[in-house]
Amino acid sequence: MIKKSVLNASWDGKFAEEILEDPQAPKGLLKCNQCGTCTANCPAARFTSYNPARLVRDVLAGAREKVLSSADIWQCFYCYTCHANCPRGNSPTELVRILRLKALAQGHAKEEVARFLAFGECFAEFGIGGMPSDIVESHANEFGHRWVKMRLHIDDLREVLGLQAMGLPENAQKQLKSLLHHTGFMERLQRLSSDSEICQSRGMR
């Protein structure tokens, strides 16, 4: 039987060009010759169906919808092993970052970031990122009493170690928050949080 090729899916001949318009796009994207060095060294490819060489091929083939709706782009570890070893100056991991943001902008996969929005909110309030309460709770279960006690007394511990208090002086914090308004980050948080569901955690209690 003849197998369905990726090109049978709806395709967009301008997809790679559109990605290259992003200044963050890897310079060697179009130079990929499918040598497979990225996949051979990729920890996600070792354990999941994610395959960076195939992802690059799909992008170059214009398989926009397939790529943007794919669960595989969310399996990358951002470990940059592909990036460090690509002989053509391509970077599948930086491509993944662009694809994930594109997917989010088109309303795909909001649930993939929903639980991490708290990091951004905490950053804007205190100048230091924080974990959402469901993750803290799960850490408390996993890491146990010793960790919970440590986190409860972190300010005292820091004092014992002769370290500055965490958190920014009031004026610096105001400036930082204002900066995040100007970059559109506060609006972005709003946009990402609207009608998103809580991450359906895979393999997590």
Partner 1 sequence: MKDVPTSGLYLFKSCLVSTEYPGVESSLRFIFDRLGIDYISDPRQSCCSGLGYYFDVFDHLSTVAVAARNLGLAEELGYRNIVTLCATCYAINKNSLHSLHENPELASQVSGILDKIGLSYPDKMDKNNIFHEVDILAALKNKIASMVEIDFSGLRIASHHACHYTKVFREDALTDPNRPYLIDSIAKSTGAVPVEYAEKTMTCGAGFRQRHCNKDLSLSLTLEKLRSLKTAGTEVLLHMCPNCQIQFDRYQPVIERLTGEQFGIYHLQIPQLIALSMGADPYTVVGIQTHSVPIEPLLKRFGIKVKA
Q: Which of residues 9-28 bind partner 1 (CB under 8 A)?
A: 23-24
Please state, as a whole number, how many other Cβ atoms lie within 10 Å of the Cβ of residue 31. 12
- 136 dihedral zone (left: phi>0; alpha: psi -120 to 50; beta): alpha
Residue bearing tokens 């708290």: 118
Residue 176's CB is within 10 A of a number of other CB atoms, namely: 15
The single residue among 69, 147, 152, 198 that binds partner 1, judged by CB under 8 A, is 147
Q: How far is CA 48 from CA 42, 45, 57, 64, 174, in A?
A: 10, 5, 18, 21, 43
Determine the residue type at 107: G
As measured in angstroms, the least distance from the Cβ of 101 to partner 1 is 7
Among 21, 142, 195, 197, binds partner 1 (CB under 8 A): 142
Among 21, 33, 194, 202, binds partner 1 (CB under 8 A): 202
Q: Which of residues 91-120 bind partner 1 (CB under 8 A)?
A: 97, 100-101, 104, 112-113, 115-117, 119-120
Q: CB-based burial of residue 75 (10 Å sphere; 0-12 exposed, 13-18 middle, 19+ buried)?
A: middle
Closer residue to partner 1, CB minimum distance, 10 or 201: 201
Task: Check residue 204 for interaction with partner 1 (CB under 8 A).
Answer: yes
- Please say which residue, 9 or 117, places its beta carbon nearer to partner 1: 117
- 5-13, 31-39, 53-61, 182-190 -> range binding partner 1 (CB under 8 A): 182-190
